[in-house]
Amino acid sequence: MSDSPESSPARTSSAGVAAYDDPVYRPAVIDLLGVLAYGELTAFERLADDATLAPTLEDKAELAALAVTEFHHYERLRDRLRDLGVEPVSAMRPFQAALDTFHQHTAPADWLEGLVKAYVGDGIATDFYREVAAYVDADTRGLVLEVLENTGHAVFVVDRVRKAIAEEPRVGGRLALWGRRLVGEALSQAQRVAAERDVLTALLVGGVDRPGMDLAAIGRMFARLTEKHAQRMATLGLQA
């Protein structure tokens, strides 16, 4: 049987409500919402910063709009955490160091690198969290998928990057190297989070109801992440 997110057993909405009393499941969901919330907050900050590098007013407005969308996603996650009786800052804080380190190590040198990072780097994170969301209750899964929904990055970034490569083919080689660096840093930080947050890792290995780490399943998951990364790079006109 396939162990892809689509075929993985997930909790029903009613089971999810009861599961919040589970001393293992509840912290796992809080971790998931916390890391997503901080990811959305930093995405807002980065897109707002990237807008200042935009070469045209049209590009500046596009990125500003995307930044606003990311902040609305953060607000949805913040409100859900509060509904659970959790202070959002407390839920986000355990993931601050890992995500901040990723962004420090992958600060874009220019406008195009920022676009590739928004598309490729955020894409890897999105795929990772969708894998985790397969094992949570329906209400939580619905919220996670909602905030991970494509906000318009894809069409905007692909258009701008492909145009830049068409105008100056040498740009493609530089951006391909940048994309490889992004995936390496992203996977490194994902492994760091998994190592530090046991309850979140439990979701990755098939849910908190299934003790023990299925290393084969983990390997297949990372293979799926790598394959999707290669597809994104190809869409941009870059070699993975």
- Give residue-wise pLDDT tens across range 73-88: 999 999 999 999 999 9
Q: Is residue 178 scored above 90 in pLDDT?
A: yes
* DSSP type of residue 94: G
**17-236, what's its fold?**
Ferritin (1.20.1260)
Burial class (CB in 10 A: 0-12, 13-18, 19+), 98: buried
* Nearest Cα to Cα of residue 45 among 118, 154, 128: 118
Tell me which long-range contacts 163-169 makes (C-beta under 8 A, separation of at least 24): 164/112, 165/237, 165/238
- For the segment 178-198, the average pLDDT, to the nearest whole number, is 83
- Of 188, 204, 146, the residue nearest 28 (C-alpha): 204
Whether residue 16 has pLDDT greater than 50: no
- Lowest mean per-residue pLDDT among 14-23, 120-129, 137-146, 153-162: 14-23
225, amino acid identity: L
What is the DSSP annotation of 15-65?
A: HHHHHTTSTTHHHHHHHHHHHHHHHHHHHHHHHHHHHTT-SSHHHHHHHHH
Q: What are phi and psi of 211, to 5 degrees?
A: -70, 155
Residue 30: per-residue pLDDT: 93
Half-sphere exposure of 147 (CA within 13 A, CB side): 32
Mean pLDDT over 1-17 rounds to 45
Residue 37 tokens, joined: 């919330």
According to the model, what pLDDT value does residue 199 have? 74
Decide: 35 and 190 in contact? Cβ < 8 Å: no
Of the candidates 41, 191, 175, the residue with the CA atom closest to the CA atom of residue 108: 175
The pLDDT of residue 215 is above 90: no
According to DSSP, residue 214 is labeled -
Is the distance from CB of 240 to CB of 233 less than 8 angstroms? yes
Which one has a higher pLDDT value, 203 or 226?
226
Among the residue ranges 7-16, 37-46, 161-170, the one predicted with the least confidence is 7-16
**Separation of CA 101 from chain center:** 15
Lowest mean pLDDT among 139-143, 178-182, 197-201, 236-240: 197-201
- Mean pLDDT over all residues of the chain? 84
- The pLDDT, as a whole number, for residue 42 is 94
Question: Domains of the chain: which residue ranges?
Answer: 17-236
